[in-house]
Structure 1
């Protein structure tokens, strides 16, 4: 080593030594990580160490050593700047700040231009805190945009509150230990992202917030309640992206609160079909007199009330009405029937880990994409020192881009010239969908005793992770050379791909029974018989299996990027954190994982609902990328409202589904090549195998606790698998015989064995 290199090495050693002391206390290290929504696994991976090491650092058992110490210090320093330690709360009531971790910032939805202005609401001055918070009287109805420097709302702990007309239990469960949902890091939102509004028999109104906090509500009318939410309640959440917008306050109404403010507790049949109250309803007139406006969706289950922005000042509140079916029971379970304090805890946990809900889980999933990748950002100052709005690189922008003809769903305006009853085949239409495949069992499989289903965790989220998708408009190419790095749609003949001999590694081939495998190129698992349109991941998989491809034409997107990575990271962290609260950690052994998953929903039913909502946010958000027309009056060939969104991107949806299906097929092939076992049925992300035992461990090839490389692995992380259900082989054969359907998809019913409508698969 030269003398110069020795000098630099000595200096580097001093620099590393210089950061030995700035590490915060162990408890603060954990708070900062959890405030950012990071797992110990993520930190360990970034620092090139083990998860156990990060846990030891946070527990104070060991200290990081150079060079990891310098990197760890840099991480903590950055997190501390973004998530400062909360200050002391009011001494006259329950503090809204906690010494534990703060809220992971929640985002903001896309709203009409009139709401936004050039920038989001500026930070408010922190209201002075005294030993006794002042009693607040109802604010008068005003017409000017509200300020955010009013006195804090009256605060009292949930434990001291009395039962209300819709709750027979005062107080609420607190958030899971170490998982505070209060937005203590930002004093503007000290009381969290949302409140459940309730009223008692004496018409006294209270707001149940996160962390068991209860606020007295002085508002006597709906307009004054909206005013209160903006000026005194200190509700909302910080932006998820520096170029984004803060989340608006969310008010969730119990039936008692609806009655108190003159809002119907249920909608009439006509109102339900319209999805809103009529424009001449007294509540809407009341809001109009106070200069409040409604968005185009009107006063429905998820209503948005606003005043046009003045400068950078926003004035907007979101309403949620569970009794109008705002919380779909398919995704939110029994949330609408919960007492207000428990509903606030449930929704607050979801809001802190995902985003403040602002519609269905599908709407929320789509808006999360925008919140993490805002379409615009502030430019650098020009010659006059002014900033302007400009395109935010990596986003989908503000303008809708045209899809390729093959990507357009039936009825799209691009297809208006097609004959009325023309049915597009695979050579005209991109048809990337999830698996729905099954086959008759072999004689050997019929001698086994059980059918065991395994399910891929967050399969579509895992399919989105690291996926390069198009950001701009497609370009048409004739006879292009295939490029697996280029997102798009390709017309190519894959009928020559023979699954009886496939490549399963570098210079390693496997001979398989192709008759027992689904094709990776079609949702029904049928082998293609000619040219068809495929998304890039599907064509790339054909190349991976060892076969040449020669596209006939393609629509490709040269402007592209990993648009969904941040979306995946956010939802993954939310899912893992909530499952950890339910006792299912990411580092369990296979046997311990199966045991932990057994009955996990009963440990905390409310958190189990949060898990369900997170999963629905993934699937629904991706589905919204190709939203179809809804409501009466639409005719094929006419545009529908969703087409005007920059986030109407059927090509992105197709790419995610393509990659998800390919990921599953790759594992099936690796499993078959190693074990000689083949799936009996596949439905989306569920795969069924015949086995002698009742557990996945009876057929998954673990060796010394390690799974087959590239095959199925038990665990809670997205992309790993869990036990879906077990039935007997006799049950499967009996069901197929009963319905005279030898290829009935048993994966649809493997969970509990209940067979419903065979014709439509519901």
Structure 2
């Protein structure tokens, strides 16, 4: 009887219901699958799948049953609109217009007609991809077909029916798209939330036009006086070739960071009146036309095959399928901002987006508004740094002798820790070396920090003011760490086991040196008098980085929560959740890496150095023209980050008698009897030492960096004959690379 049933089942399977050929193709594309992937799964050739989708042939058993199963699953994920058939989706849907353009923003000139959003058909998506963020997960997947573009002056298309309330219809399709070519040669734009757009553009200039007028891409401004983010197009290798760009840069082009000016695509853009920024056509290219009123015409390009997505921060994102790459970058964009370049560039651009340099003024007597300085911002014009804040080679130092080396009394040198010491006899009896790492340390250092907004003022013999940002020349060599004030009480410490809080090397200063305000304020906090010799202070100041910190903190915590690491976890739960968190969703783990790189890179970019072989010391370089070229702000953040770390070290030492054996930037290593941070951190009833180290996901809290044995540490130091080798550099994996290079 069972054989009879099997034959009946086979007969039914041989006539398994299949959707029309055009619907088969739609379903495959909606899920971001290639014909090759479907062919491999079914054990047939790619040409066979193409024939099924074109209607030239029909699948036969046993492949037919498997193919029907695949299409049924996809149809559940991407059903067609109730009022349309699969065939009808290839027909342009009649467009709906509103006759009144959106009102202009207060203080701006009348705006040009808004770019038009394409007409869409919608489908519910009950099972969003695992890398989809909360906002994107709630957005239904959509398939979009090109429709006629309205020529009606001042008209704006209505938002698609599934657009969330309050969404600007110009940006209804998200901040970005990954442009690729399918097996049939059709250009497709993969957007966040499963949306796919057909791209009609035949050249790069027309692609830019289509993006601005029809694609519905962009991101709303992050601040009231700010500007909306420009749409981002990510071009795959296939898309590069389609639009006349090389799939990879030559060695010479990589060194210059751009295509040569005479490249045919650059000439095409110029003939169409499009311009490039001074960076030229490189991995992150900006194509624009000069603004008219408040309207900008600008598109950002990202070319992963030209190494736009640095593997140190974006891991293997460049090699993801288009739909997955769009989702990953879309998650980053929704939580941080649309990428504007490297993570460092984006970190800097985020500061400006949150504090735009100008705003619209109140109406004057004639009722007109004009542009004025936005309070709390850095303004639109760069300011000179103080001579002590200038990096070597700066024009302010052009008169120095050629081989002069500036010492601490001439140069502000606020950097992160790189300090280590030999283990004590007692520490050698311990079994383990345990590393803890401060989460988002530089972001935490920026939180609540008052920084200068304008130019510095030089003063002689000033009274120190801990609330006044600036650079101070002061002698702190008298500060003795064996006796320090903690709160209102004096504590006795073993100063020989502590790094100095005043130098990156941890060495005690030998005399007067330049310090940022947080460093000098900490000397006062420890109970010591200070008498500055001179200073460069900034009376125009504010908490410029607070919004930047909040945005990045929220992005980090939300993404870690998506990975199963929650802010309200107990210390034990937190350590367990952190174990293997990257493997739970590798793409979200890339987003975490990019967020952290945005913090560090953004702070570093505040003092961007000269690049390129043509620059000579004493000459200006392009970064100096930015209002955000502010080495004093960078120094203040690093100073406060180092001081925050030292404060926790001192409180931990005073309470437990334990001292770090090595510190590298935001990682500290302690000797312990057990392999876990809980084996040396003084938790009582789940509560940490007030003001000390605390396990958790929030910025400023710590996580487990790695554990090695004490025998490993001593063996490594003996092997390289380096008794003070910084073990924090290698604690994570235990692998020691070239010690001489510092890697």
What TM-score do the two structures reach when normalised by structure 1?
0.79
Tell me the alpha carbon deviations over residues 150-178 of structure 1, each in whole angstroms, 9 at most, x when there is no partner.
46156677999xxxxxxxxx996561446
Counterpart of 2:442 in structure 1 is 460
Q: CA deviation at 1:297?
A: 1.0
Instruction: Say whether the 8 Å CA contact 1:229–1:317 is kept in structure 2.
Output: yes
1:517 matched to 2:498? The reply is yes
Matches for 1:59-74 after TM superposition, within 5 Å? none
Counterpart of 2:273 in structure 1 is 291
Instruction: Say whether the 8 Å CA contact 2:464–2:530 is kept in structure 1.
Output: yes
> Structure 1 187/92 Cα, relative in aligned 2: closer, same or farther at 3 Å?
farther
Tell me the alpha carbon deviations over residues 669-701 of structure 1, each in whole angstroms, 9 at most, x when there is no partner.
000000000000000000000001000000000
Counterpart of 2:621 in structure 1 is 640
1:731 matched to 2:712? The reply is yes
* 2-structure distance, mates of 1:317, 1:677: 55
**Displaced runs of 4 or more, over 3 A:** 90-95, 131-137, 145-151, 153-160, 170-174, 176-184
1:383 matched to 2:365? The reply is yes
- Of 597, 600, 614, the residue aligned with 2:595 is 614
* 1-structure distance, mates of 2:531, 2:547: 34
Counterpart of 2:633 in structure 1 is 652
Instruction: Say whether the 8 Å CA contact 1:181–1:192 is kept in structure 2.
Output: no
Q: CA deviation at 1:202?
A: 2.4
* 1-structure distance, mates of 2:269, 2:648: 57
Instruction: Say whether the 8 Å CA contact 1:154–1:215 is kept in structure 2.
Output: no
> Structure 1 149/432 Cα, relative in aligned 2: closer, same or farther at 3 Å?
closer
Q: CA deviation at 1:213?
A: 1.1
Matches for 1:227-306 after TM superposition, within 5 Å? 227-306=209-288
Tell me the alpha carbon deviations over residues 186-245 of structure 1, each in whole angstroms, 9 at most, x when there is no partner.
322111000000102322011110011111111121111111111111100000011010
Instruction: Say whether the 8 Å CA contact 1:436–1:524 is kept in structure 2.
Output: yes
- Of 164, 174, 187, the residue aligned with 1:192 is 174
Larger radius of gyration: 2
Give the alignment's Cα RMSD to 1 decimal.
2.2
- Of 94, 98, 114, the residue aligned with 1:148 is 114
* 2-structure distance, mates of 1:368, 1:571: 9
Instruction: Say whether the 8 Å CA contact 2:493–2:653 is kept in structure 1.
Output: yes
> Structure 1 461/286 Cα, relative in aligned 2: closer, same or farther at 3 Å?
same
* 1-structure distance, mates of 2:659, 2:451: 32
Q: CA deviation at 1:644?
A: 1.0
SS in structure 2 opposite 1:417? coil
- Of 525, 528, 531, the residue aligned with 1:544 is 525
> Structure 1 240/180 Cα, relative in aligned 2: closer, same or farther at 3 Å?
farther
Counterpart of 2:388 in structure 1 is 406
Counterpart of 1:599 in structure 2 is 580
* 1-structure distance, mates of 2:93, 2:281: 28
Counterpart of 1:438 in structure 2 is 420
1:571 matched to 2:552? The reply is yes
> Structure 1 565/93 Cα, relative in aligned 2: closer, same or farther at 3 Å?
farther
> Structure 1 659/151 Cα, relative in aligned 2: closer, same or farther at 3 Å?
closer
Counterpart of 2:453 in structure 1 is 471
Counterpart of 2:49 in structure 1 is none
How many equivalent pairs are there?
Answer: 621
- Of 457, 463, 468, the residue aligned with 1:486 is 468
Counterpart of 1:498 in structure 2 is 480
Q: CA deviation at 1:271?
A: 1.1
Counterpart of 2:297 in structure 1 is 315
1:630 matched to 2:611? The reply is yes
SS in structure 1 opposite 2:620? coil
* 2-structure distance, mates of 1:431, 1:151: 52
Tell me the alpha carbon deviations over residues 317-362 of structure 1, each in whole angstroms, 9 at most, x when there is no partner.
1000000000000000000010001100100000000010010000
Counterpart of 1:63 in structure 2 is none
> Structure 1 251/581 Cα, relative in aligned 2: closer, same or farther at 3 Å?
same
> Structure 1 403/177 Cα, relative in aligned 2: closer, same or farther at 3 Å?
closer
Counterpart of 1:69 in structure 2 is none
Instruction: Say whether the 8 Å CA contact 1:519–1:527 is kept in structure 2.
Output: yes
* 1-structure distance, mates of 2:399, 2:82: 65
Tell me the alpha carbon deviations over residues 270-318 of structure 1, each in whole angstroms, 9 at most, x when there is no partner.
1111111111111111112222111111111001111122223211110
* 2-structure distance, mates of 1:477, 1:667: 33
* 1-structure distance, mates of 2:416, 2:627: 24
* 1-structure distance, mates of 2:196, 2:82: 9
Counterpart of 1:175 in structure 2 is 132
Matches for 1:407-426 after TM superposition, within 5 Å? 407-426=389-408
Tell me the alpha carbon deviations over residues 595-642 of structure 1, each in whole angstroms, 9 at most, x when there is no partner.
000000000000000000000000000001000000111111111111
Instruction: Say whether the 8 Å CA contact 1:159–1:171 is kept in structure 2.
Output: yes
Instruction: Say whether the 8 Å CA contact 2:181–2:238 is kept in structure 1.
Output: yes
> Structure 1 314/152 Cα, relative in aligned 2: closer, same or farther at 3 Å?
same
Counterpart of 2:411 in structure 1 is 429
Counterpart of 1:327 in structure 2 is 309
* 1-structure distance, mates of 2:117, 2:688: 59
1:205 matched to 2:181? The reply is no
SS in structure 2 opposite 1:316? strand
* 2-structure distance, mates of 1:479, 1:149: 59
* 2-structure distance, mates of 1:291, 1:93: 40
